[in-house]
Structure 1
Amino acid sequence: MLRKLVSSNFLKQSGCWRQGLPVAGICTEATDSKVYELRTYSLVPQKVGEFIKLSNEKFHLRTQHSILLGYWTAELGGLNQVVHLWEYGSLSERAGVRAKLGGDPEWQAEYFQKILPWLQHQDNITLSRMANVSELDMTKPLGGYELWQLDMTCLPGQWSPLVMQAVNALENSERQVCGVYKSELGDMNSIVVIWRHNNIDQVAQLKLDLFNSKEGVELWSHVKSSKSKFLAPTQFSNWK
């Protein structure tokens, strides 16, 4: 059975936002006050192997401070890159975590100071969650992950229901949606969608289905620019 997504606007309009009441069997709390940070590091090509090896050995020093959802290497759509997604209760919690990391001598000496010369560029954006999705089924075969970032031409009030409808129409037994987010700090007025594919050879079908669905065509009519990346999870990623 396909999982359903519910926008916060829908929940508020339906009256179940505060009451937690079921609506057509799909109503759950779809948004929260949590902050999600998407970070992208571009690495010195000759140092990618050393970076991954050290991360496999030492990244527990980082995850003891805050929640890591996914950590991937970019296979297509970005070369010599790693992409990671973090969850925080608030911006102030994130600030506290960053301060603790700066004062953590083990993290600094055994990991952070070592990787600094291997970084060519770092980028990040903060996100808020648009929809509640059920837990990923990690027992299904893994083909890989795909990240979309869509920059929109209209305001969120217009495109929010469109992306929810499109994602619901696209999810099937071959692919699961991991999260639907809107950008807050950094890139503005953007949508970020993360998918988990069962089969790498079915990745292209997702775009075909998007452009062949009425929901996808309507959403795409409001897209200014777009990019996607095909990602492989690291051994320490929570999303496998």
Structure 2
Amino acid sequence: MLGSSSASLRVFLRRAGAASIIRVPPSLHRVSSSFATGPRQDVGTVYELRTYDIIPSKPNEFLEVVSKSINVRLAHSEMIGFWTVELGAMNKAFHIWKYDNFAHRAAVREAISNDKEWQEKLSAIRLLLHKQDMEIAYLVPWCKLETPPKPGVYELVTYQLKPGGPALWGKSFKAAIDAHVSKGYGKLIGVFHTEYGLLNTVNVLWWYENADSRATGRHLAHEDARVVAAVRESVQFLESQRNMLLIPAPFSPLK
């Protein structure tokens, strides 16, 4: 817009002549726009979402090794939860770490790189991995991290949304989540909007008492007119969607 406005103004000045008095409208004095794509949490807390692809036939060994090692890593920063994937994928582990801000994360990364005991244990863990993936995310402004009422299972739903951010799809996405929460079809644990990684990605973490209660809630939601209407409104911004049923590890803070 700035380029086309400036070009039009130059043409107008040439046609008007040097002797003419030109008053430039205030709107052309400065052309600017906000690059914000929607509201964000006021706090600086960031969450690191890690997904590990485990070598086939090694998931049990992986979990055993991590169980014996994780306390060394927990001495450096807070882990929100650690799960293995039961349905929706195979040979995967998913975990979430919390940091006060990016400086805190950088300090922790430096500390663990200098922790010889952890580096030795990490070497054993890496031998059991095929691939690692990491995203940095914020909780969306209208969500706070919740805890479940008792041990159960979790569902991670990953939405890839159209470019534009919450300014484009935030309102309708929230309405769809709220419609599920208001009727108790699932216990919402957290909604994470990716800052580093595949952008316009939102990871929604739900808790259920068991896989069957999740199936029942899903069935009821599909017959709920309010939920159906909210989903129809939000799906116009959806590129893709994937879900996984997660089982908390014995050492996971979220059970």
Please give the TM-score of this superposition, normalised by the length of structure 1. Answer: 0.81
RMSD (CA atoms): 2.1
Which secondary structure state, in structure 2, belongs to the residue aligned with residue 125 of structure 1? strand
Q: Looking at CA atoms only, which structure, 1 or 2, has the larger radius of gyration?
A: 2
Residue matched to 2:236: 221
Structure 1 residue 154: deviation in Å?
A: 4.3
Residue matched to 1:155: 164
Which secondary structure state, in structure 2, belongs to the residue aligned with residue 137 of structure 1? coil
Structure 1 residue 194: deviation in Å?
A: 0.3
1:31 and 1:129 in contact (8 A); partners too: no
How do 1:68-217 and structure 2 match up within 5 A?
Answer: 68-109=79-120, 111-130=121-140, 131-133=142-144, 135-139=146-150, 142=152, 144-156=153-165, 157-171=167-181, 172-173=183-184, 175-208=186-219, 209=221, 212-217=227-232
**What do residues 190-225 of structure 1 show as CA deviations (whole Å, max 9, x unaligned)?**
111000012311323555526852112211221001
Identity %: 29
Residue matched to 2:253: 238
Residue matched to 1:58: 69
Change (3 A) 1:102 1:210: farther
2:84 and 2:247 in contact (8 A); partners too: yes
Larger displacement relative to structure 2 (63-72 or 208-217): 208-217
2: CA distance, partners of 1:146 / 1:223: 19
- Counterpart residue type for residue 83 of structure 1: F
Extract structure 1 runs of 4+ deviating beyond 4 A: 205-208
Structure 1 residue 84: deviation in Å?
A: 0.3
Number of aligned residue pairs: 211
- Counterpart residue type for residue 154 of structure 2: Y
Please give the TM-score of this superposition, normalised by the length of structure 2. Answer: 0.76
2:88 and 2:244 in contact (8 A); partners too: yes
Residue matched to 1:27: none
Residue matched to 1:36: 47
2:148 and 2:189 in contact (8 A); partners too: no
2: CA distance, partners of 1:73 / 1:94: 24
Change (3 A) 1:217 1:174: closer
Does 1:47 pair with 2:62? Answer: no
Structure 1 residue 123: deviation in Å?
A: 0.3
Where does structure 1 lack aligned partners over 5 or more consecutive residues? Answer: 1-7, 13-29
2: CA distance, partners of 1:181 / 1:115: 27
2: CA distance, partners of 1:133 / 1:117: 36
1:174 and 1:198 in contact (8 A); partners too: no
**What do residues 61-115 of structure 1 show as CA deviations (whole Å, max 9, x unaligned)?**
1111111111000011111110001111112211211111111011112x20111
Change (3 A) 1:65 1:146: same
**What do residues 117-152 of structure 1 show as CA deviations (whole Å, max 9, x unaligned)?**
11100001111110333632333x62x100011111
Where does structure 2 lack aligned partners over 5 or more consecutive residues? Answer: 1-37
Which secondary structure state, in structure 2, belongs to the residue aligned with residue 213 of structure 1? helix
1: CA distance, partners of 2:234 / 2:218: 13
2: CA distance, partners of 1:85 / 1:108: 20
- Counterpart residue type for residue 149 of structure 1: T
Which secondary structure state, in structure 2, belongs to the residue aligned with residue 92 of structure 1? helix
- Counterpart residue type for residue 147 of structure 1: L
